[in-house]
Structure 1
Amino acid sequence: MSALFEFLLRMGDNTLVLGHRVSEWCGHAPVLEEDIALANTALDLIGQTQMWLGLAGEVEGQGRSADDLAMLRDVWDFRNLLLVEQPNGDFGQTIMRQYLFDQFHLLHLQGLKDSSDERIAGIAAKAVKEVAYHVERSADMVIGLGDGTEESHARMQAALELLSPYVGEMFNSDEIDRAMAEAGIAPDPTSLRDAYDLAVAKVLGKATLKRPEGDFAHQGGKTGFRHSEHLGPMLAQMQWLQRAYPGAEW
Structure 2
Amino acid sequence: MGDNALVLGHRVSEWCGVAPVLEEDIALANVALDLIGQTQLWLGLAGEVEGEGRDADKLAFHRDVWDFRNVLLVEQPNGDFGQTMMRQFLFDAWHLAQLTALIDSSDKEISAIAEKSAKEVTYHLERSSDTVIGLGDGTEESHRRMQAALDLLWPYVGEMFLGDDVDAAMVEAGIAPEPESLRASYDQLVGDTLVAATLTKPEDDFAHKGGKSGARHSEHLGHMLTQMQWLQRAYPDATW
TM range (shorter): over 0.9
Cα displacement string for residues 43-87 of structure 1 (whole angstroms, at most 9, x for unaligned residues)? 000000000000000000011000000000000000000000000
- Residues 106-132 of structure 1: per-residue CA shift (max 9 Å, x gap): 000000000000000000010000000
Retained in 2: the 8 A contact 1:165–1:218? yes
Whether the aligned pair in 1 keeps the contact of 2:156 and 2:209 (CA below 8 Å) is: no
Kindly indicate whether residue 54 of structure 2 is the aligned counterpart of residue 60 of structure 1.
no
Cross-structure match for 1:8: none
1:104: which partner in 2? 94
Q: Which runs of structure 2 are paired with 1:44-193 in the superposition (5 Å)? A: 44-193=34-183
Which residue is 1:236 aligned to? 226
What is the rounded CA distance, in whole Å, between the counterparts of 1:216 and 1:178 in structure 2? Answer: 23
Q: Is the 8 A contact 2:2 2:39 kept in 1?
A: yes
CA contact (8 A) 1:166 1:215 kept: no
Instruction: Note if contact 1:83-1:167 (Cα within 8 Å) is conserved in structure 2.
Output: yes
Runs of 4+ in 1 over 4 A off after TM superposition: none
Q: Matched residue of 1:158: which SS?
A: helix
C-alpha contact (below 8 Å) 1:167/1:216 kept by paired residues? no
> What's the TM-score, normalizing by structure 2?
0.99
Report SS of the residue matched to 1:115.
coil
Q: For residues 238 and 129 of structure 2, what CA distance do their matches in structure 1 show?
A: 40
The count of residues paired between Structure 1 and Structure 2 equals 240
- How far off its partner does 1:217 sit? 2.0
Specify every segment of 5 or more residues in structure 2 that has no aligned partner in the other structure, as ranges: none
Alpha carbons 1:172, 1:217 under 8 Å: kept: no
Displacement of 1:19: 0.1
One-letter amino acid of the structure 2 residue matched with residue 171 of structure 1: F
CA distance in 1, matches of 2:105, 2:203: 34
Determine which of 4, 21, 27 is the counterpart of 1:37: 27
Q: Percent identity?
A: 75
Preserved CA contact (<8 Å) 1:169 1:216: no
Unpaired runs of at least 5, structure 1 = 1-10
**What's the secondary structure of 1:99's corresponding residue?**
helix
